[in-house]
Amino acid sequence: MMSIRLRFTLLYTFILALTLTIFGFALYTLQAQDMLRPLKLDLRLGASKLAEASLRTDSRLVPPEEDFPRPPSPFDEFSNEQTFQTFPEREIGRILDANGNLVSSPFGRQEDALPLSVEGLQAVQNQQDWYETATISDEEMLIYSRPVIVNNEVVYIVQAARPLTERNRTLQSLATTYIIAGLLTVLVAFGIGWILSGITMQPIHRITQTAQKIGDERDFTRRVDYTGPSDEVGQLASTFNSMLSRLQDAFQKVEHSLQMQRDFVADVSHELRTPLTTLRGNLGLLRRNPPPEEQTDILGDMVDESDRLIRLVNDLLLLARADAGRNLAKESVDISSLLEETCRQARQLDSQRGISLDAAPSLKVMGDRDAIKQVLLIALDNALKHSSGDVNVIAQKNGAQVEIRVQDFGEGIPPEKLDHVFERFYRGDEDSVIPGFGLGLSIAKSLVDGMQGAIDIKSETGKGSIMVIHLHIAIE
């Protein structure tokens, strides 16, 4: 298959060759016309002198005695005019009668007659000049014929001719020189075009090599090294680098997602292993028929572990639905009344703790009511678990969003752990005694993201934490 580089070079060479051909043809034509013009002028001058001299001779007044044309006579017998005696040797002169018969030539020979076509004879008889070319003795000649008119009647036809050998030789030399020079120019241009196209295609070649290496090595950090102008090739290199950046981001996200999936499966397996192992151990104990009081303890333990498994599975299902982004309605939700309802339910979790609510009236957001309530319950449960004091809930309008702040006054979260609080199954060392699986905040974030909102935690060690939730205001 022909490469783009070769196609570019051939196209460039073809255009140059076509241009040189057109230019050479035009130059050859102009040169031929320019060289023919002085020849015609000389022939006209010579023929005019013979015509004027023939008018001054008396031979034209002598009618032929025979019915057929007389043999031609030499110039010195035809006329005593000096013009006939000194006619230039480089030109050929002939005198014809009105019918085109040879009347006189320098040597008076019949074979000295010059050709005159039928069209030429008719033109001259119509008192018009006539040029034509003919080959005489293997030599191309330009023949000029003109009438000699007396009393509006053609009495003689004067012919003047000159060989075109010198002109043709010059034109042939010009054509040969131009063809050789043109071929050399085309060959040189082909070589230069091949080099230039190679330089032009080098960035594209580098792009191809980079793409090949990326495919082989799966290394999306590679970039095309282009330092040329911002032309089409530069734009291609820039676009390719930009595409690589997007591919690198997408690949990193996919890798991160796969890693999170692997970690998720590992964490789920770990979380499920403990209650399942406990259940399996208790079942083994029951098979040994322990005393009734021990059976009661074993059954109680099995109920607790079963409840733990149910909670874990429910959390996982809720997290999976949130990740899929399904079943989340987009409707107007009265967040003020929902906060009152949620805080009232949360107070039942710990009647000894105070939960204060400061919410502007009639605040409405766009989202799923059940999902928002789930997020608020997670936020309040998280605040109650990690603090021993009261919890403050504040809701207010912030631009085109409603900002909900859930503040506790516990020990706070160390800065090095703050970036991991939304990761699944992440629990700090101090949270090992606190019940839960480390899925609550992950569920809350997935639900808020599914409603195109935002959630964040601000914390200061020793002073407590604030969970900030942003939801879009409902447009009435």
185-242 pLDDT, tens per residue?
999 999 998 898 888 777 777 778 877 887 777 777 777 777 777 777 778 778 878 8
Percent share of the chain, pLDDT over 90: 21
- Element (DSSP H or E) covering residue 316: helix 292-324
The pLDDT of residue 281:
83
For 438-472, write each residue's pLDDT tens digit: 677 877 888 888 888 999 988 888 788 888 999 99
Which residues make beta-bridge pairs with 154? Answer: 149
Radius of gyration of the chain (CA): 56
Token output for 302:
């099995």
Segment 341-353 mean pLDDT: 79
> At how many degrees (to 10) do helices 292-324 and 440-450 cross?
30
Query: pLDDT tier at 437 (50, 70, 90 boundaries)?
Result: low
**What band does 263 get if pLDDT is binned at 50, 70 and 90?**
low
pLDDT digits over 380-395, tens only?
Answer: 888 888 777 888 999 9
Query: What's the pTM value of the predicted model, to 2 decimals?
Result: 0.49
**What backbone phi and psi angles, to 5 degrees, belong to 367?**
165, -165
Most confident listed range (48-57, 144-153, 268-277, 349-358): 144-153
Q: What are the two backbone dihedrals, phi and then psi, of residue 51, each rounded to the nearest 5 degrees? A: -65, -45
State how far the Cα of 346 lies from the Cα of 399, in Å rounded to an integer. 29
Residue 110: its pLDDT value, please?
85
pLDDT of residue 19: 93
Amino acid at 170: T
Tokens describing residue 36: 């023919």
Band (pLDDT 50/70/90 cuts) for residue 433 is very low
Q: What's the CA gap between 475 and 332, in Å, rounded?
A: 8
Task: Give CA–CA dist 436/434, Å, rounded.
Answer: 7
pLDDT band at 342 (very low <50, low <70, confident <90, very high): confident
Cβ–Cβ under 8 Å, residues 292 and 331: no
Q: Which is more confident, 102 or 75?
A: 102
Dihedral of CA atoms 271, 276, 282, 286 in degrees, nearest 10, equals 170
Query: Whole-number mean pLDDT of the chain?
Result: 82
Look at the block and give the residue holding tokens 């000295």.
112
Residue 126 CA to its chain's centroid (Å) = 69
